[in-house]
Structure 1
Amino acid sequence: MNVTTKTGLAQAPETTMPTDPGPFDCMPDLLAAARVAPVIRIPYLEHHAYVVCDPELVRVALTHPKLEKDISLVPEWMRKPGLMVGSQPPPEYARAMIMSDGENHARIRRLHAPVLSPRNTERWGERVSVKVDGFLDELEKASAEGSVEVNVVTDYTHRIPLAFISEMLGLPLAAERELRSITDVMLYSSDYPARTEAVGALFGAVEGWVRDPAPLRDGVITGLLASSDGPDAAVSEGEVVVWTVGMIITGYETTGSLISAAIYEALRRPPQERPHTEEDIAAWVEETLRVHPPFPHPTWRFATEDLDLGGYLIPKGAALQVSIAAANREPGEEADSFAAERKGHGHLTFGLGMHYCIGASLVRLEAQLALRGFLHRFPQARLSTATDVEWESEWMIRRMSVLPAVLT
């Protein structure tokens, strides 16, 4: 039953979602919660967060001028150590692209655009291909030496974007293992003190490279640093730090999750039902983006005044999420609903409007190269029957942690 507020608008009904990380798949719970109402409230950090679930209302919320993302709007109760939103630095230090709006956002986006230009994306694709071939060679060698089963996540899917983003940023070769251990804790541990420590470790590592870039290879960080010198500096050192941290999280973790899910859906099917042509591969990746968004609820928005959203009151100051998981699906569609022929039609995984993911083309390219390479090299690969597939997630982020496969 809807409760009417003093404004005459309905109060969003309360339900629950799994807000703490754990070794489970959150997707069924997220979709069940989304069926309660077009807009819901969930208990969160002893307060409430609003979640928009209806596909059309999600589109409205993603582009609503009074639902803003600037870091200065984050209420004090959400600045809990160990939470990603609580790890954002104060705006006077630097704003991240994902937590900024207006001219701040436009400026940051302009400065990132050359890095992800079509010409650069083509060049990055060549480097991704090299990484893919190298890791496939390792898998092939392990299989030839008698390895019966591999965990595709740790041995392949997450190694590709981690190696690539490290090269793209110009990080020292030793940084890859360090970053993997830090981000695993930071995003998926239920131990909040440990997550806080991991956040500090990531920022500390990046700050160290920015302040002493001698160990760095030529890459995005050195390019940004070149823009931070002199009286006409385009960026500050603080911005280089914050933007680099953002690129590590979005360029590595979410891309690895996408590749894992795409290969998982292929291995669940007989070889003749898997994608073979370039068109098939591209469509398969789009459907994976639709069904398996790495961020089922992506980033926070905050109401700058009382809002009417589909007849529901979003009060001024409210913290709001959009359910990409629900918006990507048709009414009644269950969690396990991958259908390649849909080609991911209408998915909102990369967002909408001014905050549409600036790296979407590169993410798609990485996933297509990784999927194509794996299926070409191991056409008879199949899911292991001896080990279960495992997930880890909470309400905002989701990935496969174990994808057991027999390669031959």
Structure 2
Amino acid sequence: MPTDPGLFDCMPDLLAAARVAPVVRIPYLGRHAWVVCDPDLVRAALTHPKLAKDIGRVPDWMRRPGLMVGSQPDPKYARAMIMSDGDDHARIRRLHTPVLSPRNTERWGARVAVKVEGFLDELEKAASERPGEINVVTDYTHRIPLAFISEMLGLPPAAERRLRAITDVMLYSSDYPARTEAVGALFGAVRDWVRDPAPLAEGVITGLLGSAEGPDAAVSEGEVVVWTVGMIITGYETTGSLISASLFEALRRPPEERPRTDEEINRWVEEALRVHPPFPHPTWRFATEDIDLGGYLIPEGAPVQVSIAAANRGPGEDADCFAAGEPGRGHLSFGLGAHYCIGATLVRLEARLAVRGFLSRFPRARLGTGTPVSWESEWMIRRLSVLPAVLS
């Protein structure tokens, strides 16, 4: 499997690995990791009581600087929601729930809609002044969630460009020293905002800092830092990837085959989630004892990944299996069980607004031919880096 990032599409390799066996063992950092590929076993693994997501179980040999798992701070400093279990996970999730309540999600949706219209206005103006190809990724799809998560967190306006530069290196560079530096830059920037919130507007960060009453009191500075970093990565990068993939599947088809109604757009986004999960493999799990999973032995302490990419597909489906008009057919892109993505409703809402706005404003838009469509990925994360389009 392609465990180092690069300018390629990892999906064919991930699906090829899944055809080898229901559970495969791959070389990883000089040792081995186990990958669960069979759809039924993936569902079992996502809720298996002996496959823990506790960051304290990460072995020393996996704490390589620049890796996502190596970017996690010491558990004594703070635990992230996605790398915690039991009471720790329940407490963190409970503290995040009010932020993503239905009432707040409706309010956030109104703000996303404003940003979508603003970016569409910019695209329309630029297209009238300079006809030709644009890169939908850099000019539209990633701008929306970055601007929104920045506002949601209460960050100063200058933070958006800084975050984009940092996260691009942190997630997709093959230069591990540069990735390590980017991780430090992201944590450092968030730490500065947490320690001196004066430049911040009212938002999630100030709300967390004010969480000092009730049974969940004493939210530490470290927790606010770690949780904010997690929201930036999951709230920005993965949402932008979903919007890009949804528009890619639309632009490669004639206008009459694209979604028009709200229901059609909802189904389109769900199918994009199925075929193009932003995290083809989610965060790590670790076997707390020897586990028999479908007749395969996963030894105690082993690092385990689940292949969402493979589990989302039916028998014989390849990388290019987007079925226009289908509703996503029970995909697992947001996970399953206790760790089901807490922000799933908001991510869907952002994607639907962005797709509907673009296709309504530019109904004759088409893929450009001057620049190829390009992906960048490794085995855990995947996105379009170039989506060329002519808007009229």
Shorter chain as denominator, the TM-score bin is over 0.9
Matches within 5 A, 1:323-342: 323-342=307-326
2:210 corresponds in structure 1 to 226
**Deviation string, structure 1 residues 340-379 (Cα, Å, up to 9, x no partner):** 2321011000000000000000000000000000000000
Task: State the distance in 2 between where 1:24 and 1:182 align.
Answer: 21
Contact 2:58 2:286 (C-alpha < 8 Å) held by counterparts: yes
Task: State the distance in 2 between where 1:144 and 1:194 align.
Answer: 39
1:42 corresponds in structure 2 to 26
1:161 to 137, 145, 148: 145
Task: State the distance in 1 between where 2:215 and 2:89 align.
Answer: 22
Contact 1:228 1:237 (C-alpha < 8 Å) held by counterparts: no
Contact 1:189 1:195 (C-alpha < 8 Å) held by counterparts: yes
Task: State the distance in 1 between where 2:61 and 2:216 align.
Answer: 38
2:239 to 213, 238, 255: 255
1:124 corresponds in structure 2 to 108
The alpha-carbon deviation at position 110 of structure 1 amounts to 0.3
Contact 2:95 2:216 (C-alpha < 8 Å) held by counterparts: no
SS of the residue corresponding to residue 165 of structure 2 reads helix
Task: State the distance in 2 between where 1:170 and 1:85 align.
Answer: 27
The alpha-carbon deviation at position 228 of structure 1 amounts to 4.6
SS of the residue corresponding to residue 255 of structure 1 reads helix
SS of the residue corresponding to residue 325 of structure 2 reads helix
1:284 corresponds in structure 2 to 268
Q: CA RMSD in A?
A: 1.1
- Aligned-residue sequence identity (percent) comes to 82
1:362 to 337, 346, 350: 346
The alpha-carbon deviation at position 229 of structure 1 amounts to 8.3
**Residue 389 (structure 1) aligned with residue 368 (structure 2):** no
The residue type paired with residue 62 of structure 2 is: M
Worse-superposed segment, 221-230 or 191-200: 221-230
2:67 corresponds in structure 1 to 83
Question: Please, which runs of 5 or more residues in structure 1 have no aligned partner?
Answer: 1-16
The residue type paired with residue 261 of structure 2 is: T
Give the ranges of 4+ consecutive aligned residues of structure 1 lying more than 6 Å apart after TM superposition: 229-232
The alpha-carbon deviation at position 300 of structure 1 amounts to 0.3
2:2 corresponds in structure 1 to 18
SS of the residue corresponding to residue 388 of structure 1 reads coil
The residue type paired with residue 110 of structure 2 is: E
Matches within 5 A, 1:237-276: 237-276=221-260
Task: State the distance in 2 between where 1:234 and 1:394 align.
Answer: 38
Matches within 5 A, 1:132-143: 132-143=116-127
The residue type paired with residue 202 of structure 2 is: D
Contact 1:228 1:236 (C-alpha < 8 Å) held by counterparts: no
**Deviation string, structure 1 residues 168-204 (Cα, Å, up to 9, x no partner):** 0000110000000000000000000000000000000
**Deviation string, structure 1 residues 59-86 (Cα, Å, up to 9, x no partner):** 0000000000001000000000000101
2:200 to 213, 216, 226: 216
The alpha-carbon deviation at position 147 of structure 1 amounts to 2.7
Task: State the distance in 1 between where 2:141 and 2:50 align.
Answer: 38
2:383 corresponds in structure 1 to 399
Contact 1:127 1:164 (C-alpha < 8 Å) held by counterparts: yes
Task: State the distance in 2 between where 1:229 and 1:209 align.
Answer: 22
Contact 1:287 1:344 (C-alpha < 8 Å) held by counterparts: yes
The alpha-carbon deviation at position 234 of structure 1 amounts to 3.6
2:278 corresponds in structure 1 to 294
Contact 2:141 2:244 (C-alpha < 8 Å) held by counterparts: yes
The alpha-carbon deviation at position 250 of structure 1 amounts to 0.0
Q: CA 1:165–1:190 in structure 2 vs 1: closer, same or farther (change >3 Å)?
A: same
**Residue 59 (structure 1) aligned with residue 43 (structure 2):** yes
2:94 corresponds in structure 1 to 110
Worse-superposed segment, 137-146 or 372-381: 137-146
The residue type paired with residue 68 of structure 2 is: M
SS of the residue corresponding to residue 83 of structure 1 reads coil
Task: State the distance in 1 between where 2:71 and 2:191 align.
Answer: 15
1:3 corresponds in structure 2 to none
Task: State the distance in 2 between where 1:24 and 1:382 align.
Answer: 23
Contact 2:53 2:284 (C-alpha < 8 Å) held by counterparts: yes
**Residue 179 (structure 1) aligned with residue 163 (structure 2):** yes
Task: State the distance in 2 between where 1:129 and 1:55 align.
Answer: 36
Q: CA 1:231–1:344 in structure 2 vs 1: closer, same or farther (change >3 Å)?
A: closer
Task: State the distance in 2 between where 1:395 and 1:84 align.
Answer: 12
Q: CA 1:310–1:217 in structure 2 vs 1: closer, same or farther (change >3 Å)?
A: same
Task: State the distance in 1 between where 2:273 and 2:291 align.
Answer: 30
Question: Please, which runs of 5 or more residues in structure 2 have no aligned partner?
Answer: none
1:31 corresponds in structure 2 to 15
SS of the residue corresponding to residue 387 of structure 1 reads coil
1:12 corresponds in structure 2 to none
